Amino acid sequence: MTRFPPDWLARNRDLVLAQLREHLELTLLTVLIAVAITIPLALLARRLPRLRTPLLALTGTLYTIPSLALFVLLVAVTGLSRTTALIGLVAYSLLILLRNILVALEGVPAEVRDAAVAMGHTPRQLLWRVEAPLALPVALAGVRLATVSTIGLVTVTALIGYGGLGRLFLIGFQRRNGTALLTGFALSLLLAVAADLALARLERRLTPWAEAAPARTGGAT
């Protein structure tokens, strides 16, 4: 028998704001850490092509482990701490980011690279002046995907004591409180959509030369 107490939101404003903040913190930290890890990895894979497959395989394997299981297993090691949540969240972003950054770097047309080398660019200049700018759109698309997926995954950490807005789902579920559930749901949905839109706009702003790309093989990575 689910109730929808209309004043729940007003009475629990602090809780909702605290959970929203937790959600934002976890998401931001996750994406920053994941990017910080992935960029060097991608550059390494670019320098040593042999590493490409193993790296993708490793991050890919992490990705196939169901998120809930990874969090639960981490509890055995790092307890009910925020570290547990972060390790799991970062692990899931790694594949998306790595794959996208690698594809982005490889997507630079060979002719452009050859032309740049012919013009006398050193490998380092090649990377920073030519490849990175051209790879930015696809790489940013990866960051966008990773961010939206992290926002969803943060809610699952409610089962190990965190959850951000996911905690509101749990509260609503356990107390048969529809308002709490809806609030959590709506806010996380809004957050994901807002992040998606904001990052899409950033993508367009930073890469004015990129034409609207023809639909790639779908929303799939």
* 37-96 residues near other proteins, rule: CB under 8 A: 39, 61, 64-70, 72-73, 75-76, 79-83, 86
SS3 100: helix
Among 123, 128, 201, 202, which residue sits at the site for other proteins (rule: CB under 8 A)? 128
**Least CB distance to other proteins at residue 41 (A):** 13
Question: For the chain, how big is the Rg over CA atoms in Å?
Answer: 20
Of residues 157-186, which lie at the interface with other proteins (CB under 8 A)? 158-161, 165-166, 169-178, 181-182, 184-185
Q: Is residue 25 at the binding interface for other proteins, with CB under 8 A as the rule?
A: yes
Token pair recorded at residue 69: 């299981």
Q: Is residue 14 at the binding interface for other proteins, with CB under 8 A as the rule?
A: no
User: Across the strands, what pairs with 108?
Assistant: none
CB neighbour burial string for 170-204, b if at least 16 within 10 angstroms, e if fewer: bbbeeeebebbbbbbbebbeebbeebeeebeeebe
Going by C-alpha positions, the residue among 146, 188, 147, 150 that lies closest to residue 167 is 188
Q: Is residue 217 at the binding interface for other proteins, with CB under 8 A as the rule?
A: yes
Q: Is residue 6 at the binding interface for other proteins, with CB under 8 A as the rule?
A: no
Q: Is residue 103 at the binding interface for other proteins, with CB under 8 A as the rule?
A: no
**Least CB distance to other proteins at residue 105 (A):** 14
Token pair recorded at residue 4: 């929808």
Q: Which amino acid type is present at position 73?
A: L
Q: Is residue 206 at the binding interface for other proteins, with CB under 8 A as the rule?
A: yes
